[in-house]
Each structure stands twice: as structure tokens, then as C-alpha cells.
């Protein structure tokens, strides 16, 4: 069973700061997804990456899939309080597995 | 567009009572369906998944069961709840196993 390690587990920053969170594994994934989850709600899909080295941008969020398709990063520019939430990555390799998430708090 | 409905949103049950959580998907046919439990700080634990009517795979042996009586309906059940069954339960669907999953809003289950 492949494991997805997300780091950091917790991150608290001030509004306007930049941040990067990571999703790492020893397994190769054919695709990887990032989700954001707010308290009391289900995860919402942000992006899917499938090609090694792929970079996708969603407004202030930049997602990168590692060249070897074993890891991914999420960079947020000028974070806002609305970015607060639990960020989960999920990778597919024979089955879909989820990381434990990074809990981000952006203080106004 | 596709939507997923999960209910109830919150549930408080006594130990030993039965459970039935329901999930329905609209706007797609023959979806893959999933039940997860999410514990604080521990990510998503896959409980059951289904690739078709009457086809259920269990990932973790425990006090729960699942059924898929219709193509877009997935039910999570228990005959007798335990304290350890407390948690946040999420239903999800996908077009195929290797495609992104889309989640319902979850059920917060508290066992007293």
C-alpha cells in the first residue's frame, strides 16, 4: 500500500504571505489530485495532474507534479483568510489513496 | 451536472442502536461509489466501495456494512453501533476508479 505523506501537518500564516505545502510518496502515480476541505463539509476537488513536471495554475494557487510522478506541491501566493482549510492530496496507483492533509490557517 | 446528496448532516445515536446513512448521486450513470470515515488529523479511511448494483467491496472489517440497492444509491448501515463508530462519514463518486472522486457534505455521527 503506497503512502502519501503531506507536510507540514499544520501551517498558520498571516494574510498576504506565500506558502508551499507538499505531498510525497515512494510510489509512482498515474494521476494526483488536490482537494480543499472546510470544517463540516466534504473535500472539494481543486485540480488533477497527470503528466510528470506538469504545472497548473488556479488563480493564486500553483500546483506542480514531480518529474517522476511521485510527489507534488501546492504553492499559494498572497494567502487570504478564505484559503483557510484542510488541503488533501490523493494519488492513483491501482487504487486511490489520500494523504492526511495539511491544515492551513490564514490570519487576517 | 452531477450532484451528490448525503444525509443526515448530523446524527446522535445511543450505543447499540442501528444506523442507516444514505447517499445518492444525480446526473451520471453507473458511477463508482465510496464510503469513507474521516478522523481528525488522520485523513480519509476507505470503508467500502462499489462498482455496480449489488457489488460491494469492504476495505476494513468492522461493525459496518454497505449496500447498493440502486445504481445511484449507496447506504451505510450498522445493526448495533459502538462508541468507536463516532466520526465524520463521507460518501463520494467517480466515473471510474482512476478518476477524481467527488464528495458529499458528510455526516457527523456521534455515539453516546
Q: How far is CA B11 from CA A64, B40, B59, B82, B88, in A?
A: 39, 18, 24, 14, 10
A26-78 residue pLDDT tens: 999 999 999 999 988 999 999 999 999 999 999 999 999 999 999 999 999 99
Rounded CA gap, A65 and B2, in Å? 27
Which range has the worst mean pLDDT, A87-91, B58-62, B72-76? B58-62
| pLDDT attached to residue A80 | 98
What residues of chain B lie within 8 A of the CB of A9, using their CB? 41
| pLDDT attached to residue A2 | 54
Q: How confident is the model at residue B61 (pLDDT cuts 50, 70, 90)?
A: low
**Residue-averaged pLDDT of chain A:** 95
How close B42 gets to chain A, by Cα (Å)? 5
What residues of chain B lie within 8 A of the CB of A41, using their CB? 105-106
Would the pLDDT of A1 be above 60?
A: no
CB atoms within 10 A of CB A11: 18
B16-58 residue pLDDT tens: 999 999 999 999 999 999 999 998 766 899 999 999 999 999 9
| pLDDT attached to residue B38 | 93
Query: Is the CB of A43 less than 8 angstroms away from the CB of B103?
Result: yes
How close A108 gets to chain B, by Cα (Å)? 24
Q: Quote the DSSP letter at residue B71.
A: T
SS3 A82: helix
Amino acid at each position: 500500500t503506497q503512502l502519501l505523506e503531506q507536510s507540514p501537518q499544520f501551517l498558520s500564516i498571516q494574510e498576504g504571505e506565500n506558502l508551499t505545502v507538499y505531498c510525497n510518496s515512494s510510489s509512482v502515480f498515474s494521476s494526483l489530485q488536490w482537494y480543499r476541505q472546510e470544517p463540516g463539509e466534504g473535500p472539494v476537488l481543486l485540480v488533477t495532474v497527470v503528466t510528470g513536471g506538469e504545472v497548473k495554475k488556479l488563480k493564486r494557487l500553483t500546483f506542480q507534479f514531480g518529474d517522476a510522478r511521485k510527489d507534488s506541491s501546492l504553492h499559494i501566493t498572497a494567502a487570504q483568510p478564505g484559503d483557510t482549510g484542510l488541503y488533501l492530496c490523493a494519488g492513483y496507483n491501482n487504487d486511490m489513496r489520500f494523504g492526511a492533509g495539511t491544515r492551513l490557517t490564514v490570519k487576517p | 451536472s452531477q450532484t451528490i446528496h448525503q444525509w443526515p448532516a448530523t446524527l446522535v445515536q445511543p450505543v447499540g442502536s442501528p444506523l442507516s446513512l444514505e447517499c445518492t448521486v444525480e446526473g451520471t450513470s453507473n458511477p463508482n461509489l465510496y464510503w469513507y470515515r474521516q478522523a481528525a488529523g488522520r485523513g480519509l479511511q476507505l470503508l467500502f466501495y462499489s462498482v455496480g448494483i449489488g457489488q460491494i467491496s469492504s476495505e476494513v472489517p468492522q461493525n459496518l456494512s454497505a449496500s447498493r440497492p440502486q445504481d445511484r444509491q449507496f447506504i451505510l448501515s450498522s445493526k448495533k453501533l459502538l462508541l468507536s463508530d463516532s466520526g465524520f462519514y463521507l460518501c463520494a463518486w467517480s466515473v471510474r476508479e482512476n478518476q477524481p472522486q467527488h464528495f458529499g457534505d458528510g455526516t457527523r455521527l456521534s455515539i453516546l
